Structure 1
Amino acid sequence: MEIGASTRAMATEEKNRWRAKGLPCIAPLVSSVNETTVPITTEIHGHVPAWLSGSLYRNGPGKFEFGTQTYNHWFDGMALLHKFKIKGNQVTYKSHFLRSDSYKANSEHNRITASEFGTLAMPDPCKNFFQRFLTRFVMPKPTDNASVHFVKYKGDYYVSTETNLMHRVDLETLMSKEKVDWSKFIAVNGATAHPHYDPDGTAYNMGNSYTKKGAFYNIIRVPPEKTGPEDSLQEAKVVCSIPSANKNKPSYYHSFAMSENYVVFIEQPLKLDLLQILTGKLRGRALNTCIYWDPHQETVLHVVNKHTGKPSAVKYQARPLSFFHQINAFEEDGFLMVDLCCLDDGRVMNNFLIQNLRKSGEALDEVYNEMCFAFPRRFVLPLHVDENTPYGQNLNTRHCSLATAMKMSKDVVFCTHEDLHGDDLREYGGLEFPQINYARYNTRPYRYFYACGFRHLVGDSLIKMDLQGKKFKVWYQPDFYPSEPIFVPSPGAVDEDDGVILSVVITPIQGKNTFLLILDARTFEELGRAEVPVQIPYGFHGVYESEVLIPQGQA
């Protein structure tokens, strides 16, 4: 572990303070804010690297009530899109609420009219009793409140959530150009907000479909280029459909893994009860109440050849786990390494109810102490398993790897993971929002990844993990809460960690400003910060779009 003495002292002091007084209240981090549609200048402290020229785009919830009604869950807030434009040692900031159908209807009626993940919209009080009763028998429409991520298809950026609806956005204005429905192009009822990309720009994603035969997990491929000026998702194709182990109770998933030649779908025992979802409005229950954890069902890693669409005959099983984000996956020496941020149960989503995030003192401590945390783990999957493969012995022959893989039956290999961290990482809580040097090391062997440390319900530190020796470096300051770290490579970089880390750092403390943090990715020392004179809520994911041409071969 490589942690400066001052950082360690601050961490210990802060930990002792929490034990004595409880976790600090973070309610302002999940409070509604105003949009900033005209770019404003930030105040620079330190310096911005001269070569850093581009924009950081962030997405996340920014409005949590309409009229007297408040959303129940952090995931429900209306999408607020952010842009930090960086050029010539100057940084400007702007934001814009996505004018989704949900946002417009809620604003027009000054109440919550559209159901979200943890909030069921109530019938219009202006309707008579019979009309209100009938509306309970109508399936809630999927939300177009695309508050999770910026994603790229065929050169265009979209904001997305986990339904079948996205918005193609103008990166200059942050306004929606059009609403796009996946189901108009392919037979899916939704898609993740975490696609993967081949070097040529071909995108892969996962989406569910629900048929009379049951639920299926679909691997989607979107070609890299448009065929015409009006082309959006035309030529998108389902390359493989994987049937759910339980046709009426498919797994929930937020992301998936991809190597050079394979897509890996992790079917975790975090389940969607489709019958409960279908009857949710009648019962007055939101979607989040229809997801449950089944600790008696094993996790299955489905490996699919992404070129042929053919799934492996072997099912790789592991003990029950849940996860939101993969770190990386790559092939080497006949093995497929799959690195994930894993939890040992699936109850985490309901920790992020608004009522929990706005607690303080002992009540907040109680929520935190009951949480399960995500830690980085590696699964090693042997790719060449056949009838001659021996049973009951470890098939993982990789040097110094602690993961195991044993053939249990003709088509089942049971895998145990290797921790990608040492015990000293636990001082900083779990890890989430992992990022790598994606342009050069996605689907390839890699050494470093970056993440948020969680000693609170939201990230309170930034961590650089070095997989050689399982060491780490930390950026931490009391009362500041950094968001997902985005790696930006230096022009002409040779080393994997030659670049900077960008993270939007939020504070609930009056008199202190939110800022865009710039860290040297190699040393993890602060280079500079751009302070923003307006409040920004804690968000989810983002992307950096460079104005600097990357030399050929580094993209």
Structure 2
Amino acid sequence: MSDATDRAYELGFGTVDTEYADRRLPVEGTVPSWLSGALIRNGPGRFEFGGERATHWFDGLAMLRRYGFDDGTVSYTNRFLRTGAYAAADAGHGATEFATGDGSLRRTLRWLRSLGPPEPTDNATVHVARLGEHFVALTEAPRRIAFDPVTLETRGEFRWHDDIGEHLATAHLTVDPNREETIGYSTEFGLSPSYHVYRIPHGHAARRHVATVPAAGPGYVHDCSVTESYVVIVETPLRIALAKALAPWNEGLLDVLEYDETATSRFIVVDRDAETLAGTVETSPFFTFHHVNAYDDGDELVVDLVAFDDDEIVRALTFESLSAGAFAAAPDGRFVRFRFQPDEGGVRRSRRYDGGLELPTVPASVRGRRYRYAYAQATDRTGANGLVKLDVERGTATEWWERGVYVEEPRMVRRPGGTAEDDGVVIAPALDTGRERSMLLVFDAETLVEQARAPLPHAVPFGFHGRYFPDT
């Protein structure tokens, strides 16, 4: 690995020891005075448990980060979620998460004492959402942790009181500002595995069942798309082996995932108004974590994804692989567009950008609708991660890179009163390996010209996802 890549691995997957509260950051450049609100992000902050290190990036202890904006200033708060997983880690015990086991004997004893599988983890480390007046941290286990959106203090577990079954939950609740609701789904095991789709109206915290559709496998499904008419779940050949999942000696979710090269990928389409399955369409196999966007185009659906040839990316994110060079050599996701009719066979696919990318976002106003611009982390250069703006109509891209800087997930924030789709700013945290600290970057959303950077007092481990809340 190069020096920059070595430092990125050490700093980006290192443990944070200090929590800051409302720390005013120095600003190099100018943050627009209209930018008012907070970017709240989630991700791992600690990887050591009782003298042992986690084995996978996904298994760090959840730490929230808040970047507050007010009249050109930037403030920073970071705080670990105070959960059962946090208490166990503080006591020197690890937790079985995505890939890191805590010892098969202890798990077997817990299984026997509880007469069933152990309780799923409350280490909600993947994403955040607003449900009514509640701000919650999310993971793929069916447990959600409420927190204060200003101080990030943990408020306790958020629970739904309904009969929607879930053995796995989505951490990607999809907010549709046009229909003023949030869409989610869960996976339920059993003799007939199923996906349950639900909706949460804006301003409310309770969810309502939309439809239940059969699962094949079931598959490991990380994200979904919405259009004005449909919810789209993409089920890839990365299957959850249920017999392994129920065994007390498995070492986490990674241990029970199996990629079936002979299987197809399926688009499962749910009609949002009729609340029924509109159809399933199969295509040649691929893997995806994240959706870019989707929209209705006449009688066809357009679904844009970050697609991989297979599940190699999942295995490449173990620390064993990352430390051995996979950090620089991990496979790149590609922007792929799929077109199909929801109730007929036949899928057309095309690549809209040849570079590697991940963690995509589109302006909120065009989510689920025909759109022109998408923003993402650019991943295909050694010694840096960049930022890319895609013009999906013209098939062109604008990129920003800086040697030794690793940009994380971007978020586009529209300027109040702006009419153009790209009128606003793009904000993204980044790790500066040269200065050995993280920073918050602000770009003009039209040109990707850097407007400001605000260095943090420390290096923050690479996180996963976040949302911008204009009214916190």
Report if TM-score (shorter chain) is over 0.5: yes
Query: In structure 1, how many angstroms separate the alpha carbons of the residues matched to 2:310 and 2:261?
Result: 7
Query: In structure 2, how many angstroms separate the alpha carbons of the residues matched to 1:476 and 1:368?
Result: 16
The aligned runs of 1:212-251 (5 Å cut-off) are 213-226=191-204, 232-233=205-206, 236-245=207-216, 249-251=217-219
- Say whether residues 1:173 and 2:134 are aligned partners: no
Give the alignment partner of residue 534 of structure 1, picking from 439, 458, 461.
Answer: 458
Distance 1:547 1:287, change over 3 A: closer
Q: 1:475 Cα shift?
A: 1.1
SS of the residue 1:414 aligns to: coil
Q: How does the TM-score come out when normalised to structure 1? A: 0.80
Q: How does the TM-score come out when normalised to structure 2? A: 0.93
Query: In structure 1, how many angstroms separate the alpha carbons of the residues matched to 2:373 and 2:410?
Result: 13
Output the amino acid matched with 1:416. R
Q: Say if 2:383 and 2:403, in contact at 8 Å, map to a contact too.
A: no
Query: In structure 1, how many angstroms separate the alpha carbons of the residues matched to 2:113 and 2:16?
Result: 32
Query: Alpha-carbon deviations, 1:214-273, whole Å to 9, x = none?
Result: 2101111223334xxxxx43xx2222111123xxx3100100111011011111111100
Query: Residue in 1 aligned with 2:274?
Result: 308
Query: Residue in 1 aligned with 2:312?
Result: 347
Output the amino acid matched with 2:221. Y
- Say whether residues 1:378 and 2:337 are aligned partners: yes
Query: Alpha-carbon deviations, 1:37-96, whole Å to 9, x = none?
Result: 422121111111111111111110000012212111110101110111111221111100
Unaligned 5+ residue runs, structure 1?
1-16, 227-231, 386-411, 549-555
Query: Residue in 1 aligned with 2:303?
Result: 338
Q: Say if 2:96 and 2:251, in contact at 8 Å, map to a contact too.
A: no
Output the amino acid matched with 1:317. E
Output the amino acid matched with 1:40. R
The aligned runs of 1:22-171 (5 Å cut-off) are 23-25=5-7, 26-107=9-90, 109-112=91-94, 114-122=95-103, 139-171=117-149
Q: Say if 2:429 and 2:438, in contact at 8 Å, map to a contact too.
A: yes
Q: Say if 1:328 and 1:340, in contact at 8 Å, map to a contact too.
A: yes
Q: 1:159 Cα shift?
A: 0.7
Q: 1:137 Cα shift?
A: 8.1
Q: Say if 2:306 and 2:334, in contact at 8 Å, map to a contact too.
A: yes
Q: Say if 2:126 and 2:465, in contact at 8 Å, map to a contact too.
A: yes
Displacement over 3 Å in runs of 4+: 21-25, 130-138, 181-185, 456-459
Query: In structure 2, how many angstroms separate the alpha carbons of the residues matched to 1:381 and 1:339?
Result: 12
Distance 1:481 1:135, change over 3 A: farther
Distance 1:485 1:133, change over 3 A: closer
Distance 1:132 1:505, change over 3 A: closer
Output the amino acid matched with 2:200. V
Query: Alpha-carbon deviations, 1:418-455, whole Å to 9, x = none?
Result: 1112x4x3xxxx210000101x1011110000000113
Output the amino acid matched with 1:75. F
Q: 1:320 Cα shift?
A: 0.1
Distance 1:267 1:73, change over 3 A: same
Query: Residue in 2 aligned with 1:417?
Result: 349
The aligned runs of 1:465-504 (5 Å cut-off) are 465-504=390-429
Give the alignment partner of residue 271 of structure 1, picking from 230, 239, 247.
Answer: 239
Query: Residue in 2 aligned with 1:207?
Result: 186
Query: Residue in 1 aligned with 2:470?
Result: 546
SS of the residue 2:58 aligns to: helix
Query: In structure 1, how many angstroms separate the alpha carbons of the residues matched to 2:266 and 2:159?
Result: 30
Query: Residue in 1 aligned with 2:447?
Result: 523
SS of the residue 2:346 aligns to: strand
SS of the residue 1:460 aligns to: strand
Per residue, is there more strand in 1 or in 2? 2
Query: Residue in 2 aligned with 1:392?
Result: none
Query: Residue in 2 aligned with 1:394?
Result: none
Q: 1:484 Cα shift?
A: 0.4
The aligned runs of 1:242-261 (5 Å cut-off) are 242-245=213-216, 249-261=217-229
Distance 1:453 1:132, change over 3 A: same
Query: Residue in 2 aligned with 1:190?
Result: 168
Distance 1:520 1:138, change over 3 A: same
Distance 1:52 1:28, change over 3 A: same
SS of the residue 1:43 aligns to: coil
Query: What is the RMSD of the two structures over their aligned residues, measured on CA atoms?
Result: 2.5
What percentage of aligned pairs have identical amino acids?
Answer: 29
Q: 1:458 Cα shift?
A: 10
Q: Say if 1:452 and 1:459, in contact at 8 Å, map to a contact too.
A: no
Distance 1:288 1:179, change over 3 A: same
Output the amino acid matched with 1:377. V
Q: 1:456 Cα shift?
A: 6.3
Query: Alpha-carbon deviations, 1:332-370, whole Å to 9, x = none?
Result: 22221111111110121121112333x2xxx316x744x
Query: Residue in 2 aligned with 1:551?
Result: none
The aligned runs of 1:390-429 (5 Å cut-off) are 412-421=344-353, 423=354, 425=355
Query: Alpha-carbon deviations, 1:151-189, whole Å to 9, x = none?
Result: 122242211011110012110110222202457552222
Query: In structure 1, how many angstroms separate the alpha carbons of the residues matched to 2:269 and 2:50?
Result: 48
Query: Alpha-carbon deviations, 1:134-154, whole Å to 9, x = none?
Result: 579852321111111111222
Q: 1:28 Cα shift?
A: 1.4
Q: Say if 2:77 and 2:151, in contact at 8 Å, map to a contact too.
A: no
Output the amino acid matched with 2:189. Y
Give the alignment partner of residue 364 of structure 1, picking from 317, 325, 333.
Answer: 325
Q: Say if 1:22 and 1:364, in contact at 8 Å, map to a contact too.
A: no
How many residue pairs match? The answer is: 470
Query: In structure 2, how many angstroms separate the alpha carbons of the residues matched to 1:28 and 1:183?
Result: 41
Query: In structure 1, how many angstroms separate the alpha carbons of the residues matched to 2:449 and 2:227?
Result: 31
Q: Say if 2:231 and 2:269, in contact at 8 Å, map to a contact too.
A: yes
Q: Say if 1:323 and 1:343, in contact at 8 Å, map to a contact too.
A: yes
SS of the residue 1:413 aligns to: coil
Q: Say if 1:35 and 1:97, in contact at 8 Å, map to a contact too.
A: no
Q: Say if 2:363 and 2:374, in contact at 8 Å, map to a contact too.
A: yes
- Say whether residues 1:297 and 2:248 are aligned partners: no
SS of the residue 2:164 aligns to: coil
